[in-house]
Chains A and B, each alone.
Chain A
Amino acid sequence: MTQAVIRFTEVSKGFVRHSGRRLLGGHLVHRLRSSGKKEVFWALRDVSFEIGKGESVALIGANGAGKSTLLGLVAGLAAPDEGTVSVTGRLAALLELGSGFHGDLTGRENVYLNGALLGLSRAEMKRQFDQIVDFSGVREFIDEPLRTYSSGMIVRLAFSVAIQVEPDILIVDEVLAVGDQSFQAKCLERIAAFQRSGNTLICVSHVPSAVQDLCPRAIWLDHGRVVKDGPSPSVIEDYTQGRLAAVGS
């Protein structure tokens, strides 16, 4: 393995259950009768792994296994409670495509805004705007408000912006199931090119077969712990069997 771009060392991330304590009254009541005991839900527990430069890794697990929390830590959105997370390089996370998009802005305005959010500078945006629009295939409608777009068009535009950020690490979260077939093929082609140029890819899915082709390595998370980390086919086989067993019992 070459140098690690993502390194998790015994990482734990917990969430304090704070039902109702988001309001002032809740805070006061909590302070008054708090005995210092906190009920913590551990979304991740003692997770350690390394991802090297140029690796492609699939992250699999059922809903609530801790995938999103793990991605949040990789993306620097949250800090771990225990252990250390180190990430080097520019990162683009397609966590929820188009989360910064706004319906009242035109396609063009949304591209500028989203590019800036993902970290493009003015010069980069100027240089890459046409490529983004061409890739998305919505040039005809680029000056129309986004709310007139179909959901497929929005996803295409969002993906086009994210891939143009030229990240070192790309996180793809359940987003390849969208868009029509020809656009999906285009995306996969683009991701393959991204992999070939030595960048790091993390795919997330609860449908493992979707990511098997892209990622030779897989990490299986369950209830916040790494169950298995290794070559995709064997991890995915175990994961599928584990799920079948769970359904069967």
Chain B
Amino acid sequence: MWRGDAIYLLQNLILKDFRIRYRNMSLGVFWSLLNPLVMMGVLTFVFTQVFPRASTDGPFAIFVLCGIIPFNFFALAWSSATVSIVDNVTLVKRVSIPREIVPVSVVLGNCVHLGIQIALLLLLVIVFGKGVNVHWLWLPLVWVLEIAFVCGVGLLFSALDVYVRDMRYVVESANTVLFWLVPVFYPLSSVRPEFHFVYEYNPIAALILVLRTILLEAKPPVPSTLVKLAFTSLFALILGYIGFRMLKRRFYDYL
């Protein structure tokens, strides 16, 4: 049995990801900022100049950035967690560490990225004159819920990828579809009410809505959205953990 220090190992694995990623980039952390900024610029151009549309709350650039950052985090963390077990086959087959640590460390490693992008978002909110308000105190909670959700999904799909190797392509395609199904560049108000449930039970969409409510409207998050966000996130985490535990028994045989 492995009798090590799981938290210490988790820290080391996250540090490893971080170091390897940034050591191979001459611009380092700026890459974390460049991608959302470019996306923000392009989407703002398209939806204010090419398809001018009904006004949204606050400046469109911030509006769209509130969508890009949660979506990018989810898409990147989900796809990298999905391949984590298969790509780290040397660890999984040689060292008897608790296997859950591998996908979880990948998700948490992406949080370093995320932290930088959130800082950028908050900075731009202030630059665009929206100012700080007391409801910002909700932000840590909603982000933690999102991370819990991605951990759950990442655990489940990393285990599935061991058995079905093209799971990674399923995830890639799902991410492409999801970009349109979460309100990255449109407000929920443009969606017909009968479709709202698709957004409210989708933690990524719910997080985007909550972020806009807090940052742009300076209002507390809608309680029902918050409850659904919490419920679906914790449900995903528990489901992912249980699914992983069931599937990990035969990892050795399939790797």
Q: Which residues of A contact B (CB under 8 A)?
A: 15-16, 18, 22-24, 27, 72, 75-79, 87, 90-91, 93, 95-96, 99-100, 102, 104-105, 109, 112-113, 116-122, 125
Contact = CB atoms under 8 A, between A and B. Distances in A.
B108 to A, nearest CB: 15
A16 B252 CA distance: 12
A235 B96 CA distance: 31
Given A15-B253, A76-B1, A117 B95 contact: yes
Given A102-B16, A121-B5, A125-B8, 18 more contacts: A15-B253, A22-B165, A23-B164, A75-B96, A76-B96, A91-B1, A93-B95, A104-B23, A113-B12, A113-B13, A116-B9, A117-B9, A117-B12, A118-B4, A119-B3, A120-B5, A121-B4, A121-B8
B16 A113 contact: yes
7 contacts: A22-B165, A78-B252, A93-B96, A99-B95, A104-B20, A109-B16, A118-B4
Nearest to A104: B20
Contacts of A90: 3
B12 A116 contact: yes
Interface string B158-197: 0000011111001000000000000000000000000000
Given A22-B164, A23-B166, A117 B97 contact: yes
3 A-B pairs with the lowest CB-CB distances in the bound complex, closest first? A119-B4, A78-B252, A121-B5
B94 A76 contact: no
Contacts of B4: 116-121
Interface in B4-22: 4-5, 8-9, 11-13, 15-16, 19-20
Nearest to B167: A24
B249 interface: yes
Contact of A96 (B5, B13, B94, B96): B94
Contacts of B224: none
Interface in B67-108: 90-97
Contact of A72 (B16, B91, B170, B252): B252
Assign chain B's interface to a size class. Answer: 20 to 34
B19 A18 contact: no
Nearest to A26: B164
Contacts of B167: 24
B164 A24 contact: yes
Contacts of B49: none
Given A76-B96, A118-B4, A119-B3, A104 B253 contact: no
B2 to A, nearest CB: 6
Interface of B: 1-5, 8-9, 11-13, 15-16, 19-20, 23-24, 90-97, 163-167, 170, 249, 252-254
Contact of B19 (A75, A93, A95, A104): A104
B19 to A, nearest CB: 6
A24 B165 CA distance: 7
Given A99-B90, A104-B20, A112-B12, A118 B95 contact: yes
A95 B93 CA distance: 9
B91 A117 contact: yes
B96 A77 contact: yes
Nearest to B249: A79
A120 to B, nearest CB: 7
A16 B95 contact: no
Contacts of A76: 1-2, 96
A27 B164 contact: yes
Contacts of A18: 254
B71 to A, nearest CB: 26
Contact of B253 (A16, A91, A102): A16
B254 A105 contact: no
Contact of A119 (B2, B94, B166, B249): B2
B96 A109 contact: no
B163 A22 contact: yes
